[in-house]
Amino acid sequence: MRAKVHIYPKPGVLDPQAKAVGNALAGLGFDGIGELRQGKLFELELEASDAASARARVEDMCERLLANTVIENYRVEIEE
Amino acid sequence: MRAKVHIYPKPGVLDPQAKAVGNALAGLGFDGIGELRQGKLFELELEASDAASARARVEDMCERLLANTVIENYRVEIEE
């Protein structure tokens, strides 16, 4: 089974990397850009009997390693 | 208009960060994990008259700043 994990800074958390990218884009002449957020993306293959147990395992991975849940939110997508 | 950009290392490009994450997951007891890839994610708001011109601008941003096209592929999604 294939899982995708999207990890973003929580709303309100200072995101200096996204700010730097936004400024760099403006410097290159791209104007009219509003909110910009930068996140991480994991795509993994895992063995699981069904989508629900795959989701539970990937959420456990997020809580324990992939995301810093103090400052980041995560979203898991399971593709069968 | 809202755009999402997914950036991944090209297939065959050495990805030590993903390898480290895979090893760390195995060390935590998560077994049965196959291929793991790590990428970057950008989500941005931009002004554009239609989806096609928004896509063209975001692809231009990828070529010029967001992605390193020597070693990375990107995929743009436009949400209206």
pLDDT in tens, A16-34: 999 999 999 999 999 999 9
Scan for tokens 């390898």, then name that residue. B19
The whole-number average pLDDT for the span A41-55 is 94
The whole-number average pLDDT for the span B25-51 is 94
> Is the per-residue pLDDT at A6 higher than 90?
yes
Question: pLDDT tens-digit profile of B49-67?
Answer: 999 999 999 999 999 999 9
User: Does the distance separating the beta carbons of B34 and A46 come in below 8 Å?
Assistant: yes
User: Does the distance separating the beta carbons of B6 and A41 come in below 8 Å?
Assistant: yes
| Chain A residue with the nearest C-alpha to that of B38 | A42
Out of A25, A47, A61, the one facing B25 most closely (by C-beta) is A61
> What ipTM did this prediction achieve?
0.86
Helix/strand/coil (H/E/C) assignment for every residue in chain B: CEEEEEEEECCCCCCHHHHHHHHHHHHCCCCCEEEEEEEEEEEEEECCCCHHHHHHHHHHHHHHHHCCCCCEEEEEEEEC
Q: What are chain B's domains?
A: 2-28+35-79 (3.30.1280.10)
- Cα separation, A73 vs A25, in Å, equals 25
User: Does the distance separating the beta carbons of A40 and B8 come in below 8 Å?
Assistant: no
